[in-house]
């Protein structure tokens, strides 16, 4: 078990800054997910934690011990790569037990540990098969087995499910999380897939262009995004963004949108730009006759018990998640009401949220 602390970590590749000044702590036993678009610096951060890449500046502490300049092999951390790098000529048993055998562990103990891990991953029946003919999910389980058999202090996983198809990915997400609940090892998991992150993480660390933008539990980053980038990256469909009037003092509780006045949480600081951006999740907007903002229905998608209604307004196009009992017709003009507690106001100059309900106040704290 281990706590991983990253302090002011920076990585340059020549003139290019891949990771700017990152600081965070992954708590003992936590499932910590690093999320962000391709090229944002997630893998580089993970590789520095693993000891596969040396930082340009900053420190990495494992259980309080400074391991910044220790080699990967001295860190007692297991790394699970994206590709299923199994040894094709070996059986499942020999693949899983490989790290124990090269460590010189007595044979009986190797057998016991390997079988225990195979039971945990429900691949006991495959132990004496070759890995060649295995299905993708089983290959992934073997790769996981090889990573956890060593009982390392922490696991680092770089898009381990990236090569699986969508249905399988969902199943493996569930399995990985259950496995984590059982063994409770500190895990840092890298992905660009927000659904994976939302479904597995204790906390999500969202990065963009080498910077950590926000760290928090899934619901918190969903309900109280720190920046417009985070708001747009998390949630499917994404948060709606509407053009609103800027130049607001601190403490404002309403914002003008195309002649309508929309109530919102109090602004924490003044917003000096001429324009602001109002963010509203599709489930936080209602179609109602007396809604202050008007728009025309552009499309309706039925999704089982709910529907997604696309509405064009003068301030931008938005999507509303509504029960199927709401009836609208294409081209019809409708009113839109916003959940005043849940909308978020962003400053387009800094990208930061200047008005949002406190997470604790939202009742999840
Ligand atoms: P992906 O999911 O595509 O791997 P990522 O968020 O993990 O994205 P990194 O792999 O950490 O991103 O890369 C961050 C940036 O650093 C990218 O622009 C990448 O091109 C650059 N980079 C990574 N490794 C090197 C290297 N060895 N030399 C030069 N540039 C690099």
Packing angle, helices 136-148 and 107-120, rounded to 10: 130
Report the CATH number that the domain containing residue 200 is assigned in CATH: 3.40.50.300
Residues 14 and 150 in one domain: yes
pLDDT of residue 95: 94
- Are 277 and 350 contacting, i.e. CB atoms less than 8 angstroms apart? no
Which residue has its alpha carbon closest to ligand 1 atom 30? 13
Which residue has its alpha carbon closest to ligand 1 atom 5? 39
**Separation of alpha carbons 86 and 72, rounded Å:** 20
Residues 48 and 137 in one domain: yes
**Separation of alpha carbons 141 and 136, rounded Å:** 9
Residues 158 and 288 in one domain: no
Pocket test for ligand 1, best of 22, 35, 39 (most atoms within 8 A of CB): 39
Kind plus residue range of the DSSP H or E element containing 290: none
17 pLDDT tier (thresholds 50, 70, 90): very high
**Separation of alpha carbons 278 and 345, rounded Å:** 5
- Out of 75-84, 129-138, 277-286, the most confident range is 277-286
At 39-94, the pLDDT tens digits run 999 999 999 999 999 999 999 999 999 999 988 878 888 887 655 578 889 999 99
Distance 119 CA to ligand 1 centre (A): 36
Percent of the chain with pLDDT over 70: 96
Mean pLDDT of 1-11: 93
pLDDT of residue 360: 52
Ligand 1 atom at shortest distance from the alpha carbon of 44: 11
**Separation of alpha carbons 242 and 253, rounded Å:** 17
Residues 214 and 247 in one domain: no
Mean pLDDT of 141-163: 85
pLDDT of residue 303: 85
Mean pLDDT of 131-147: 85
Is 265 within the bounds of a domain?
yes
pLDDT of residue 365: 39
Is 158 within the bounds of a domain?
yes
Shortest CA distance to 341 belongs to which of 270, 234, 263, 227? Answer: 263
Range with the poorest average pLDDT among 127-141, 168-182, 217-231: 168-182
3-state secondary structure at position 183: helix
pLDDT of residue 263: 96
Mean pLDDT of 13-20: 95
* Residue 29 CA: distances (Å) to CA of 63, 204, 362: 12, 14, 27
Shortest CA distance to 322 belongs to which of 302, 297, 340? Answer: 302
Q: Which of 223, 254, 273 is the last residue of a domain?
A: 223
Shortest CA distance to 231 belongs to which of 197, 281, 267, 268? Answer: 281
- Are 313 and 295 contacting, i.e. CB atoms less than 8 angstroms apart? yes
Residues 190 and 331 in one domain: no
Ligand 1 atom at shortest distance from the alpha carbon of 53: 27
Is 277 within the bounds of a domain?
yes
Structure tokens at 316: 């931008």
Percent of the chain with pLDDT over 90: 70
pLDDT of residue 168: 74
Pairing of strands 306-313, 260-263: unpaired
Q: Tell whether omega for the bond before 237 is within 30 degrees of 0, i.e. cis.
A: yes
* Radius of gyration of the chain, Cα coordinates, nearest whole angstrom: 24
Is 228 within the bounds of a domain?
no
Is 248 within the bounds of a domain?
yes
**Cβ neighbours, 10 Å, residue 279:** 24
Range with the poorest average pLDDT among 101-105, 256-260, 294-298: 101-105
Ligand 1 atom at shortest distance from the alpha carbon of 43: 7
pLDDT of residue 81: 66
Residues 167 and 274 in one domain: no
* Torsion on CA atoms 93, 94, 99, 100, rounded to nearest 10: 70
Q: pTM for this structure?
A: 0.88
**Separation of alpha carbons 72 and 65, rounded Å:** 14
Residues 265 and 207 in one domain: no
Is 232 within the bounds of a domain?
no
**Phi/psi at 255 (5° precision):** -140, 145
Give me the domain span that covers residue 330: 238-361
Residues 301 and 206 in one domain: no
> What's the DSSP call for residue 89?
T
Structure-model confidence comparison of residues 290 and 203, the more confident one = 203
Distance 204 CA to ligand 1 centre (A): 20
Residues 242 and 216 in one domain: no
At 311-365, the pLDDT tens digits run 999 999 999 999 999 999 999 999 999 999 999 999 999 999 999 886 554 444 3
Range with the poorest average pLDDT among 8-22, 137-151, 343-357: 137-151
Is 233 within the bounds of a domain?
no
Burial of 46 (0-12, 13-18, 19+ CB in 10 A): buried
- Are 204 and 35 contacting, i.e. CB atoms less than 8 angstroms apart? yes
Residue ranges lining ligand 1, Cβ < 6 Å: 13, 16, 18, 36, 38-44, 192
Residues 188 and 312 in one domain: no
Distance 206 CA to ligand 1 centre (A): 16
Pocket test for ligand 1, best of 36, 41, 205 (most atoms within 8 A of CB): 41
Distance 106 CA to ligand 1 centre (A): 40
Report the CATH number that the domain containing residue 316 is assigned in CATH: 2.40.50.140
**Separation of alpha carbons 289 and 357, rounded Å:** 26
**Cβ neighbours, 10 Å, residue 65:** 11
Structural domain count of the chain: 2
Which residue has its alpha carbon closest to ligand 1 atom 21? 18
Distance 50 CA to ligand 1 centre (A): 15
At 284-317, the pLDDT tens digits run 999 998 999 999 999 999 988 899 999 999 999 9
3-state secondary structure at position 197: helix
CA 76 and chain centroid, separation: 25
Pocket test for ligand 1, best of 15, 35, 36, 42 (most atoms within 8 A of CB): 42
Q: Which of 189, 223, 257 is the last residue of a domain?
A: 223
Which residue has its alpha carbon closest to ligand 1 atom 16? 18
At 234-247, the pLDDT tens digits run 998 899 999 999 99
Range with the poorest average pLDDT among 106-115, 171-180, 274-283: 171-180
Residues 207 and 305 in one domain: no
Is 279 within the bounds of a domain?
yes
Q: Which residue is listed with tokens 């990985």?
A: 176
Shortest CA distance to 354 belongs to which of 281, 252, 213, 260? Answer: 252
**Separation of alpha carbons 256 and 127, rounded Å:** 65
Residues 104 and 193 in one domain: yes
Give the residues across from 257 on adjacent strands: 260
């Amino acid at each position: 078990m281990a706590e991983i602390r990253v302090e002011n970590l920076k990585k340059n590749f020549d003139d290019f800054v891949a990771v700017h000044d990152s600081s965070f702590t992954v708590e003992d036993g936590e499932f910590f997910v690093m999320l962000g678009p391709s090229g944002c610096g997630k893998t580089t951060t993970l590789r520095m934690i693993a000891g596969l890449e040396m930082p340009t500046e900053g420190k990495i502490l494992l259980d309080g011990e400074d391991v910044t300049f220790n080699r990967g092999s001295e860190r007692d951390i297991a790394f699970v790569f994206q590709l299923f790098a199994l040894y094709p000529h070996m059986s499942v048993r020999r693949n899983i037990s490989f790290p124990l055998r090269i460590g010189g562990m007595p044979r009986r103990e190797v057998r016991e540990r390997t079988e225990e891990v195979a039971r945990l991953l429900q691949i006991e029946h495959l132990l004496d098969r070759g890995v060649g003919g295995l299905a993708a999910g089983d290959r992934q389980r073997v790769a996981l087995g090889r990573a956890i058999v060593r009982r390392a202090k922490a696991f680092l996983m770089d898009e381990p499910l990236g090569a699986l198809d969508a249905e399988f990915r969902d199943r493996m997400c569930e399995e990985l999380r259950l496995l984590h609940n059982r063994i409770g090892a500190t895990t840092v998991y890298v992905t660009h897939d927000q659904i994976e992150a939302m479904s597995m993480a204790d906390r999500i660390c969202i990065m963009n262009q080498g910077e950590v933008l926000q760290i928090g539990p899934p619901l918190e980053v969903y309900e109280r995004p720190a920046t417009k980038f985070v708001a747009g990256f998390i949630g499917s469909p994404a948060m709606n963004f509407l053009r609103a009037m800027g130049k607001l003092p601190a403490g404002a509780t309403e914002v003008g949108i195309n002649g309508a006045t929309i109530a919102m949480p109090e602004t924490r600081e003044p917003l000096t730009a001429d324009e602001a951006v109002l963010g509203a999740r599709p489930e936080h907007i209602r179609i109602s006759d007396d809604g202050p903002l008007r728009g025309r229905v552009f499309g309706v998608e039925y999704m089982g018990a709910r529907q997604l209604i696309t509405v064009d307004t003068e301030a931008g196009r938005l999507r509303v998640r509504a029960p199927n009992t709401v009836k609208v017709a294409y081209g019809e003009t409708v009113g839109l009401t916003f959940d005043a507690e849940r909308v978020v106001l962003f400053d387009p100059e800094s990208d930061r949220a200047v008005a949002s309900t406190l997470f604790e106040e939202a009742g999840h704290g």
